[in-house]
Amino acid sequence: MKFLVGTDMERVSRFKSFAADEKKLRRIFSEYEAAYALKKPRPEETLAGFFCAKEAVSKAAGTGVASLLKNEIEVRHDVGGRPFILLHGDLAERFSGWTADVSITHCGGLASATVVLYGGGL
């Protein structure tokens, strides 16, 4: 089994403008992510966490920001509220059969996420 790890940290304040600009929001965030974040009292905090998770996946996968702009990486939540990663497009094909675990946190004006991709056989 192979393990790939990525992590990212961003300033939450950087994402205030995303919550107020639909075009900017849709460039990086899926419909689900945008709707989920905009329901929160501080949407910029949630968006920063989502961005960190997406960036962490792209770092682990070695894809760079192209996969973010094509919305190939999406953060969703299970029924208990736990975040998980959903891959789309070329990235989903490349990592078919792999699992992506994610941890997202924010504190003191910063957001961070760590992702572990695992699979790929022996």
Query: Taking a C-beta distance cutoff of 8 angstroms, is the pair 78, 84 a contact?
Result: yes
24 DSSP 8-state letter: H
In whole angstroms, give the CA distance from residue 88 to residue 93.
8
Question: What is the side-by-side order of every strand in the sheet holding 99-107?
Answer: 2-11, 110-119, 99-107
Q: Where in the sequence numbering do the catalytic residues fall?
A: 59, 106
In whole angstroms, give the CA distance from residue 4 to residue 16.
31
